A and B are shown apart, each in its own frame.
Chain A
């Protein structure tokens, strides 16, 4: 789960990391007034995807042009997400920019602290072309951050105020630990011309698996659902996983790996999937039925491809869910149903107006032929 910049900054401030003065706005009018209040400002689109800067979602504004700049940003749709909120922040006179992040490192199994003096730019580009400019230290899960690590990094980056730097990194790690984060990132962290360290941007990603013990984050999660596709929200509520895509073949699959294989085979057969939908292991008739109707509700979907390999999930449960739901829908369906209790499953689907396939590749091939 990803937090908005303004939500991340609120947490940063509560944990002692300074951020610029800012006002969150939902209308052009509010944004214009905010700019007036702050004098010169930056207007930043609040969307839950990366790359908003490149999409024109972060612009400087003065009192004279605030209204037109705000209108421009509110008019954007960034990677399919409309801009519903902007953060208006006071402009800073910057002396130096840094990159700071703590991220879960899959290869070592521990959090990784990364700091670079090349902040403010595309850090992935820095990592690719000049990796020596990024200083990295693993954080031991039992020891936590250690002073010598911070001292070494501060010297390496040429930071004079080692105390302020150390305090900031410790506060950031405190956020990482407290909220079950998988990423906390400041890009850029700036040293202002007046000598203050300020987080100009702020990113926090929370581990979805830990939401059950992060009550405050659960609330944010519910509030942020306005910014997601409705199908994604409905699926999440039922503990299923939905990702919107561009094509016209709606996919309902049990298991993430098999779902990915299904998308690939549709593409290999020359078609285009409308979505990824994993109903997860052990789904019952209700879940499968809901998955079918959620997928069918995507306006781009012209055909449903249901691909189920019953193991923990029973084929008769799957068939019951499909049977009950298809009665209410008018859309062509290709089904592949194999596994535990498959005979019972096919009995339930007997007479249903569906096209039968016997493997993932066959199902994909038939689906692509039918929509062409």
Chain B
């Protein structure tokens, strides 16, 4: 047994995570062929690297199959309703910044706030006979946010990618998605509601509160946390 550290298995998120650990004297690397999801850890003993999809890391932390994991705040809060009891935040890594926001067509001159969105939704439903559709993959976070804001007469439609295109394609009237620069939103003729910020997210190192630790793991964890704190 060793301490299991979960890291996103591809892309910039993986590279930046590797660089973040490297700066702290811990070398993470992929082994084998380019296509093989296996990795190694150098510079510290008793820690093993698990490469997996960023979206699965919250679940694995909550199930205690990972002791540590790097993933976005957005994914942890969306997937773990009791996240404060299931995981502990160790460090914000300073990259992967993104805001989860609500955006509507820029041509909706009458809509600037959630209050407007609610009124537009009421009118839309009366005219079209169905609720105003908001495309997202963050169902729980968006629903909680809109319920709290008192927005009614909307429905969430699932969109796992290219969410900004759903409005033009008329499969949704508005979207809730992550954005870092707002570039994609503008290119798709969307604007962010002035009070439509649901969450600020960034890549974060989490510790599972439920993963079992044997004495060796505990020692490795203390050593690792100590190294990261320096």
Do the two shown chains form a genuine complex with each other? no
- Report A's interface with B, CB cutoff 8 A: none
- B interface residues, Cβ below 8 angstroms from A: none
